[in-house]
Copies of this chain bind each other. A is one copy, B any other.
Amino acid sequence: MNLKQLADHLKLSPTTVSRALNGYPEVSEKTRNRVLAAAEANHYHPSHHATRLAKGKAHVIAHVVPLSVHTMINPHFSDFIAGAGLTYAKAGYDMILRVVMESEEEAVYRSFAKDGRVDGVIVHGPRVGDTRIALLQDLGLPFVVHGRTMADDADYSWLDVNNFRAFERATNFLLDLGHQKIALVNGFEDMVFAARRRDGYLKALKDAGIPIDPEIMFSSEMVEPQGYQALKKVLKQAKAPTAILLSSILPALGAVRAIHEAGLVPGKDVSLVVFDDQLSFLQNSGDIPMFTSLRSSIHDAGTRVAEMLLSKINQPDSGFCHELWEAEFVLGSSTARPPQA
Q: How many residues of A contact B (CB 8 A)?
A: 55
A92-136 CB mask vs B (1 if < 8 Å, else 0) is 001111111000000000110011110000000000000000000
The yes or no answer to A280 lying at the interface (CB within 8 A) is: yes
Which residues of A are interface residues toward B (Cβ below 8 A)? 43-50, 52-53, 58, 60, 65, 67, 71, 73-75, 77-79, 81-82, 85-86, 88-89, 94-100, 110-111, 114-117, 221-225, 250, 253, 256-257, 260, 280-283, 290
- Nearest CB in chain B: distance from A220 CB, A: 12
Complex: A253 Cα to B47 Cα, angstroms: 48
- Of B46, B74, B117, B256, the contact of A280 (CB 8 Å cutoff): B74
Which of chain B's residues have a CB closer than 8 A to the CB of A60? Answer: 96
Which of chain B's residues have a CB closer than 8 A to the CB of A98? Answer: 85, 89, 94-95
- Of B53, B73, B116, the contact of A78 (CB 8 Å cutoff): B73
Question: In the complex the two chains form, is A77's CB within 8 Å of B74's CB?
Answer: no
Complex: A186 Cα to B255 Cα, angstroms: 26
- Nearest CB in chain B: distance from A245 CB, A: 19
Complex: A247 Cα to B127 Cα, angstroms: 36
- Of B46, B97, B115, B257, the contact of A85 (CB 8 Å cutoff): B97
